[in-house]
Structure formats: structure tokens, C-alpha cells
Amino acid sequence: MTEDTPRTGTHEPGSEPCEAEDSIPTFPVVASGSADLPPHHDHCLGCGPANPHGHQLRVRRDAHGVHAHHRFDSRHVGAPTIAHGGAVATVLDDLFGFLLYTVGELAVTRHLAIDYLAPVLLDTPYTLRAHIHARDGRKLHLRATIENDHAHVVTTATALFLIVDIDHFLTTTHQPHHR
Ligand SMILES: CCCCC/C=C\C/C=C\C/C=C\C/C=C\CCCC(=O)SCCNC(=O)CCNC(=O)[C@H](O)C(C)(C)COP(=O)(O)OP(=O)(O)OC[C@H]1O[C@@H](n2cnc3c(N)ncnc32)[C@H](O)[C@@H]1OP(=O)(O)O
């Protein structure tokens, strides 16, 4: 855990927080215009600074939601010179996860949909933006875009995140979900 990684303030009433709980962020609400938001955790595939295979995304809050500037590189290649669609999805999913700093809740991805409008090129600067489109109880309906330096949107995404409590991360016996 780095100095910047948020620490939990949540634990079972009447018990001391355990080591695992100490690693779970509370996602405090962070004001617009702040410095880079803390990573979800140090080894997060999307944003963890200590994950050499990760994207090490750096995200800031703004008046609308969150944004990041990002370049995909040769580790993320799909078709030659083009970022793998799964890598793009990873980064967008993680970007959505930074919106939790605007709501101050723990939540996880239930549904993620992406329109790849144009190739996302390697070693090319892009701006990623995400915002909360609507909240309905536990349901966070999220939207994101990736645009190039000419302000052309090359990717759009929507997601449904569901707010969970801390037990979600402490339960090792999740059952498959049937709809
Ligand atoms: C011990 C050490 C732990 C260490 C942890 C450390 C750190 C944690 C740090 C951060 C974690 C937080 C965020 C991370 C941020 C970013 C990373 C990127 C995000 C991710 O990488 S995250 C991983 C991938 N993610 C999952 O691993 C989720 C797997 N999944 C589940 O665990 C369950 O699925 C769950 C709990 C999500 C929900 O389960 P559930 O049973 O509570 O929910 P349920 O089914 O009841 O649905 C509720 C209402 O949503 C409606 N609904 C459902 N689906 C819908 C759809 N598609 N469209 C429209 N509505 C829909 C229903 O219709 C109902 O609506 P209504 O309430 O109105 O009836």
C-alpha cells in the first residue's frame, strides 16, 4: 500500500479491522480539480503503480466526472499497431471504477458494453472521460468516451456498476449468478 492508497474506515461492529480490510479503500468523495486520484490498489491491472503488466492509469476528477490521458503501448497490441479490444475494455472498466470517488461507495462492474467506433492506435495520445449518467439505488449507470487529439470520439462505453458492501470482497464463496 502506498501513502496515497486510501484506507478503509469500514469494519464489522465490535471487531478490529483485519489486515485484508486494511487494503480495501472506502472511496471517499474527492473534490473536482484535485491531483491524481489514488489507485484502486497498488497492483490493480488498470491503475496499480506496482503492476508491471498493468496500464498504470492516472485519473483525475473534474466537474463532470473523471478523465485520464493515456497511451496504449506494444504490451497491449491486438492487430498490428492497434490496441487489443480487451485492453481498451480493461482501461475503460478501470476508469469507471474511479467514478466511485465521486459517489463515495464501493461498487463493482455488473455490465460493460463498448462500441469500438475506430481503431485505438498504439503509442498515440488519447483522452478518456467517464461520468455518472444516472443513479437508481444501488445501480450506477455510467458512460465513457475515448477521444483522439483531434477530438474525434473513437470509443464509447456504458456500464452498470452495482454498489456492494465490504463483505463482497471478504467472501470467498461467491455463487454463480443465474438470471
Ligand atoms: C480479502 C481482500 C479483498 C481485497 C479487495 C481489495 C480492493 C478492492 C478495491 C476496489 C474494489 C472496488 C472497485 C474496483 C474498481 C475498479 C475496477 C474495475 C471494476 C471491476 O473490475 S469489478 C470486477 C468485476 N465484477 C465482478 O466481479 C462482479 C461479479 N458480480 C457479482 O458479484 C454480483 O453479480 C453483484 C454483487 C455485482 C450483484 O449481485 P446482486 O445479487 O447483489 O445483484 P442482483 O442480481 O440482485 O441485481 C441488482 C439489481 O441490478 C439489476 N441488474 C442486474 N444486472 C443488470 C443489467 N445487466 N442491466 C440492468 N439491470 C441489471 C437487477 O435487476 C437488480 O435490480 P432490482 O434491485 O431493481 O431488482
Over residues 120-152, the pLDDT tens digits come to 999 999 999 999 999 999 999 999 999 999 999
Binning pLDDT at 50, 70 and 90, where does residue 18 land? Answer: very low
Residue range 19-170, CATH number = 3.10.129.10
Segment among 34-38, 60-64, 107-111, 155-159 with least mean pLDDT: 34-38
Write out residues with Cβ below 6 Å of ligand 1: 20, 23-25, 40-41, 93-94, 97, 100, 106, 108-111, 139, 160, 162, 164, 168-170, 174, 177
Strands 107-116 and 59-61 turn out to be unpaired
18 grid coordinates: 483485519
Domain extents in the chain = 19-170
Say what the pTM is. Answer: 0.87
Please report the pLDDT score of residue 11 as a whole number.
30
